[in-house]
């Protein structure tokens, strides 16, 4: 093979690899659903839905899309200044794409809501329930590791991710650095080259990028 042909082949491989780059963020720890502790704590903070939001990123060969999901209701339980439990609901019918407009935006949102992806007609709500929270030391991006059971479509898995948790007498805020989950762990396999052959430039990354902002009072 001539030098020019070799260079061209390497360039093409590099372009495909770079286009398939997963969303930014540390991969969440994922395992089987865990037992939820029943500790109620001595303080209960109710979720402020108007100041709580989930941001998402999905990528494919050739680009990526970003969007939001609404958190509708929930609570966080605190015992002696430490989070000991909590639960919140995610409105899957609120899937919103923030980088597109018009019909292209509507088409993508409709596809994500369809049975190809999150089948919101059958599963309009996802739920995250805290199983445990551990403190981090000397981490500039987060104060805690949060573990909880995420129910997405009809699959429940425990996931673990970093979060900055700030508690006052009257409120609690939770914000996460970017992290990722693998959608195929929850049975969402459309466009995954792990499950379908010969997708070529139609392959969609298995990783979904997430960041979460919650406020409760």
The residue extents of the domains of the chain are 23-216
Distance CA 67, CA 57 (A): 6
Phi, psi at 170, each rounded to 5°: -115, -10
In contact, 143 and 175? CB cutoff 8 Å: no
Per residue in 127-166, pLDDT tens? 999 999 999 999 999 999 999 999 999 999 999 999 999 9
The pLDDT of residue 2 is 52
**Structure-block tokens of residue 148:** 């909880």
Q: How far is CA 8 from CA 4, 17, 19, 62, 156, in A?
A: 6, 14, 17, 19, 45
Q: What pairing do the DSSP bridges indicate for beta strands 179-182 and 26-27?
A: parallel
The pLDDT of residue 22 is 74
User: Which span out of 2-11, 29-38, 124-133, 200-209 was modeled with the highest average pLDDT?
Assistant: 124-133
**Structure-block tokens of residue 77:** 């339980």
Least confident of 122-126, 161-165, 201-205: 201-205
Distance CA 20, CA 63 (A): 8
Q: Which residue has the higher pLDDT, 24 or 74?
A: 74
- Beta strands (DSSP E) in the chain are 26-27, 29-32, 43-46, 53-60, 63-79, 82-97, 125-135, 144-152, 155-167, 172-175, 179-182, 204-216
CATH topology of domain 23-216: Lipocalin (2.40.128)
């Amino acid at each position: 093979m001539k030098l020019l042909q070799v260079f061209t082949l390497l360039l093409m491989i590099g372009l495909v690899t770079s286009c398939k780059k997963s969303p930014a963020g540390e991969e969440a720890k994922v395992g089987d659903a865990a037992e939820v502790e029943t500790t109620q704590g001595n303080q209960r903070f109710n979720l402020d839905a108007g100041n709580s939001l989930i941001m998402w990123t999905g990528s494919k060969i050739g680009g990526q899309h970003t969007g939001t999901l609404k958190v509708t209701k929930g609570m966080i339980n605190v015992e002696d200044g430490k989070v000991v439990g909590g639960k919140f609901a995610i409105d899957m019918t609120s899937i919103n794409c923030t980088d597109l407009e018009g019909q292209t935006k509507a088409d993508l949102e409709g596809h994500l809501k369809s049975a190809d992806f999150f089948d919101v007609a059958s599963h309009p709500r996802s739920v995250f329930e805290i199983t445990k929270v551990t403190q981090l030391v000397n981490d500039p991006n987060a104060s805690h590791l949060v573990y909880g059971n995420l129910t997405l479509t009809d699959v429940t898995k425990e996931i673990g991710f970093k979060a900055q948790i700030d508690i006052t007498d009257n409120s609690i805020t939770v914000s996460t650095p970017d992290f990722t989950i693998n959608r195929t762990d929850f049975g969402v396999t459309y466009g995954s080259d792990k499950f379908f052959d010969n997708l070529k430039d139609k392959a969609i990354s298995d990783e979904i990028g997430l960041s979460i902002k919650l406020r409760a009072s």
